[in-house]
Amino acid sequence: MQAIPRTLFADEHHQFRTAFRNWLDHEVVPNHEQWELDQITPRSIWLEAGAHGFLGLTVPEQYGGGGTADYRFAAIMAEEIGYTGVIGSANGMTLHNDIVLPYFIELCTDEQKRRWLPGMVNGQLIGAIAMTEPNTGSDLAGVKSTAKRHGDTFVVNGSKTFISNGINSDLVITVVKTDPAQAHRGMSLLILERGMPGFERGRNLDKIGMHAQDTAELFFSDVEVPVANLLGEEGKGFFYLMTNLAQERLGIAVGAVAVAKAAIEWTIDYTKNRIAFGQPVAQFQHSKFLLAELHTETQTAQVYVDRCIELHGDRALTAEQSAAAKYWCTELQNKVVDRCVQLHGGYGYMREYPIARAWADSRIQTIYGGTTEIMKEIVGRSLVGG
């Protein structure tokens, strides 16, 4: 069955998709298995991505970036990463582009932009954002890491965990309490840099999936951070986080639909060629009905996500709409991938098959970027208040 035509992209988007997919196929896909074993991607691939113009698409041209505000290019990257199944090896780049860089572009002073943006575009400086703490997940107001000001310096103490790009990162947007007596209004954003005394990285965390994506614990012991590394205004950190979370959640939804579509394609190919009881598995009524269900639900999700992308391009996407997209699409991703594993039978549990790797990689989707439960709370609150 032909998919519903998408009207979201123009010729320049299709050209960009082809270029990025070719790069993934030649530079990332052949190395993905090794990077999964290494549990980290080499910094050299970041330099390659930068050289090909795949980092800093929204960074102004004067700092070496692409100078585009068109989110559709970012969506294409998220989709192609999902289609190729190399999420662990390339997801850090979408984090760098779509989650970290908007803070730098919108909040940095001119001096900060000159200092950091060129390196973030060419791949020499890798970005991360550190929000979650060992005892603080969805409740950001509960952040315990502190930054006490002494003249022209903030002294930072505390720790973070589950930080994507945590090992490779050079610039870490760190959520701290500059006024511990306050909840949301006491939060600020500081840029901690690789090599600052007292800034230590813990182990590269051993996850169920996404092994090539380095995820680390970070520790701060009397780290002296110049006031010049304050991002935006002191005390407005929570406001900045809420402003940028809509794009983060939309990006997760975009990738979720892409993985679901890829899983269905892999499963159709497999079940057409797998013979059981004298006929292809695809010919059993149960297989047809299940594939029809998964295909229809995924197409429906694609239409909603495409509309969210259009709204985001018009700066009209609301927090509730992005939360709904994130919740629905990631839950659907897990459903689709799980059912597709079942249709693969025992081979679906073998990591040599992309469906098995996708199953392990997908589970985190309903947790990071805001859990399904928090997304439902956001949507529900918009409906009935509270």
Residues 6+ apart with CB under 8 A from 27: 45, 48
- Average pLDDT, integer, range 128-137: 89
Weakest-pLDDT range from 10-24, 57-71, 128-142, 167-181: 128-142
Active site residue 248: yes
- Average pLDDT, integer, range 364-374: 96
- Average pLDDT, integer, range 233-262: 96
Using the predicted structure, report yes or no on whether residue 264 has a pLDDT greater than 70.
yes
The position carrying tokens 């092994």 is: 211
| Total residues belonging to the chain | 386
Among 250, 266, 335, CA closest to 298:
335
- Average pLDDT, integer, range 133-138: 81
User: Which structural domains are found in the chain, ordered by start?
Assistant: 11-125 (1.10.540.10), 128-235 (2.40.110.10), 239-384 (1.20.140.10)
CA 39 from chain center: how many Å? 17
Quick one: pLDDT band at residue 218, thresholds 50, 70, 90? Answer: very high
Distances (CA, A) of 229 to 65, 109, 172, 185, 189: 21, 10, 11, 19, 9
Using the predicted structure, report yes or no on whether residue 137 has a pLDDT greater than 90.
no
pTM, 2 dp: 0.96
> 248, 297, 352, 377: which is the annotated catalytic residue?
248
pLDDT at 300 (0 to 100): 97
Render pLDDT for 291-312 as a digit per residue (tens, 0 to 9).
999 999 999 999 999 999 999 9
pLDDT at 184 (0 to 100): 83
Residues 6+ apart with CB under 8 A from 10: none
Using the predicted structure, report yes or no on whether residue 3 has a pLDDT greater than 90.
no
Dist CA 57 CA 105 (whole Å): 11
Among 342, 361, 367, 299, CA closest to 4:
299
Using the predicted structure, report yes or no on whether residue 60 has a pLDDT greater than 90.
yes
- Chain mean pLDDT for the chain: 96
Rg (CA), the chain: 21
Residue 314 class from Cβ within 10 Å (0-12 exposed, 13-18 middle, 19+ buried)? exposed
Render pLDDT for 65-114 as a digit per residue (tens, 0 to 9).
999 989 999 999 999 999 999 999 999 999 999 999 999 999 999 999 99
Quick one: pLDDT band at residue 1, thresholds 50, 70, 90? Answer: low
Query: How many percent of the chain have pLDDT more than 90?
Result: 94
